[in-house]
Amino acid sequence: MVNKDFSRPGAPQSLNITTLRRPSVIARTFSSPPTPHTPSKTGFARTDLNMLTPPSSPPRAGSSSELKVAYESLETLRSSVDTPRTSTYTSDGIISCPYDVGFVKDQNDRKQMFGYGAWSNVFKASCHAKAPASHGLLTPPCRSTAPPLLVAVKTPARKDAMTILRHEAQILSRLRELDINEDHIAAFHGIIDDESSLVLAAHPLSLEDHIKTCARTAQTTTTTASISSPVFGSAAIWLDLADKLITTLDWMHNEASIVHGDIKPGNILLRPTPERTDDNTFPYQPLFIDFSSSQRLDTTSITPNTLSAVTMEYTAPELLTVAVLKDPNSCATTASDVFSLAVTLLVAATGDPMVYTGYSGMQRQMLATQGWGVLNNVRSLSSRVPRQGIVSRVLEKAVLKKDMGRISTGAWIDLVKDARKDMAGQTKL
């Protein structure tokens, strides 16, 4: 969450931030290999710089024995914090966090960090229901005795990042007000107004981490029969993930009127599905995070500079021209979101989040700018994307050049449903 980095730079649509400077496009456009653990120079305890979410193991000694990271524990903790029936809002229309929040620290009294980005740091924290106000002069306020809820707190890394995070909080506030948002995005608990810090649900796993785990398992279990299947073990499981992700993107575009702008495996968290009765279904509900590069479709205003921190391998080629990248008003579109999700699903099949592993940096840059050829290029690296296979069939129209008829989310959902029906029919035969 993050991917690796839970936070990516973004800017508010309704606020004037044209004076803000974002990181260099050249310095920020490529995804990088996993960062080995090194002592923090900032004094923060970075438990895993490549995770946006807590690890699945218990916290280290001294980090608060009450907190549990396993998802099952999070469900219990979540129910112990009374969520207010009505939300309160800041003056700029952001939901206020209704809880008392405290950072989790290690044995050296350092904040435990989940991840960091160009504009923010994400820390592990706990939250309690706020104590009711005391009306008796001699009676101290009563603090809730319920166990704390583990959360992720996204804080500005520097002063000029506060506007960026408030923009993301505005987007998240809008999304939280919509029906069934909990099926599509990680929960937003609100903003700590005086700090411009976002309080978000913590989940134990990202799609990127899951893909890597499945890829390692596939390396030792692959047979001649399965060598052309997605690393999840079957095309049916991959199709179920595709269905869930494309449905969420369709909801985001057509119900929420939001363009995400930075879709990749590290910006998708996984919530276990409690009642899984079919081994051919994906065992998690994917949840999108990191809306700092998002744009609203229901307004004519444009948030500037949102393309300055794209991950090239996942970015639509029409956004990677020099003219577009130099234009501060350039922004992602629904079509570019479709392309980014297609590459994300391609990676979920191959098991390689770097997309073009084996190529040099300059070669990867060239391949990214010609992204419509991503399927052919990846086939030279992986046997899991056969030309007539399910993965190719589902993704080929989603990676077309924009002016060549790239598929819409609605048509994409229908395509996946047809592929699932065909697969079910072949299984019966």
Residue 19 CA to residue 15 CA, distance in Å, equals: 11
Q: Are 202 and 53 in contact (CB under 8 A)?
A: yes
Phi and psi of 396, rounded to 5°?
-60, -35
Q: Please report the sign of the dihedral spanned by the C-alpha atoms of residue 242, residue 244, residue 248, residue 250.
A: positive
Which helix (H) or strand (E) element contains residue 414?
helix 409-428
Position with higher pLDDT, 399 vs 60 = 399
Q: Binning pLDDT at 50, 70 and 90, where does residue 224 land?
A: confident
Beta strand pairing status for 268-272 and 258-259? unpaired
Question: Rounded to 5, what percent of the chain is helix, strand, coil?
Answer: 35, 15, 50
In this model, does residue 380 exceed pLDDT 70? yes
**CA–CA separation, 348 vs 246, rounded Å?**
14
Question: Which among 38-52, 117-131, 280-294 has the top mean pLDDT?
Answer: 280-294
Band the pLDDT of 111: cuts 50, 70, 90: very high
- Which distant-in-sequence residues (6+ apart) come within 8 Å of 408 by Cβ? 334, 338
At 148-187, the pLDDT tens digits run: 689 999 999 988 889 889 999 999 999 998 988 999 999 9
Greater confidence (49 vs 246) lies with 246
pLDDT tens for each residue of 3-33: 444 333 333 333 333 334 444 444 444 444 3
pLDDT digits (tens, 9 = 90+) for 194-210: 999 999 999 879 999 99
With bands split at pLDDT 50, 70 and 90, how would you rate the model's confidence at 304? confident
At 292 the pLDDT is 87
Domains observed in the chain:
25-201 (3.30.200.20), 207-428 (1.10.510.10)
Q: Say if residue 213's pLDDT is above 80.
A: yes
Mean pLDDT calculated for residue range 44-70: 37
Residue 112 in tokens: 């435990």
- Percent residues over pLDDT 70 in the chain: 75
pLDDT of residue 306: 77
Q: Give 155-158 contacts, CB < 8 A, sequence gap 24+.
A: 155/120, 155/121, 155/122, 155/123, 155/195, 155/197, 156/119, 156/120, 156/195, 156/196, 156/197, 157/116, 157/117, 157/118, 157/119, 157/120, 157/121, 158/119
Place of tokens 């490549």: 50
pLDDT > 50? residue 103: yes
